[in-house]
């Protein structure tokens, strides 16, 4: 039985260019999770209160997805192109229980 995990990522300072360069590979991995029916939601945290932060960039990302174990979620997160490229300076993984929407 798969459980949900929240993958909470914090961007490194001045990582917007790295984020832009590695976005296609990052999105490709998320698309695979979606195609498998395991992705609940994913997206970035704008660094400012705007849907288009422009050069202000982002402060991190949130991914909620199904994995068979914490270890599997950690292994998946460890292979993220953003983490490997230095976009993310910190990644926290927590089990997640979805209550709403039902």
Query: With helix as H, strand as E and coil as C, how does the chain read?
Result: CCEEEEEEEEECCCCHHHHHHHHHHHHHHHHHHHHCCCEEEEEEEECCCCCCCHHHCEEEEEEEEEECCHHHHHHHHHCCHHHHHCCEEEEEEEEECCCCCC
Write out pLDDT tens, residues 10-35: 999 999 999 999 999 999 999 999 99
Buried/exposed 59-87: b ≥16 CB within 10 Å, e otherwise: bbbebbbbbeeeeebeebbeebbbbebeb
Report the DSSP beta bridge partners of residue 31. Answer: none
Confidence band, pLDDT 50/70/90 cuts, at residue 2:
confident
d(CA 56, CA 48): 7
pTM: 0.94
Write out pLDDT tens, residues 72-90: 999 999 999 999 999 999 9
């Amino acid at each position: 039985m798969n459980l949900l995990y929240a993958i909470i990522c914090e961007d490194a300072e001045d990582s917007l260019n790295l984020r832009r360069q590695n976005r296609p590979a990052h999105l490709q991995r998320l698309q695979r999770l979606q195609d498998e029916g395991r992705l609940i939601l994913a997206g970035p945290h704008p660094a400012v209160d705007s849907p288009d932060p422009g050069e202000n960039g982002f402060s991190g990302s949130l991914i909620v997805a199904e994995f068979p174990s914490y270890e599997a979620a950690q292994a998946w997160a460890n292979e993220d192109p953003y983490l490997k490229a230095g976009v993310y300076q910190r990644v926290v993984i927590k089990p997640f229980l979805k209550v709403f929407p039902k």
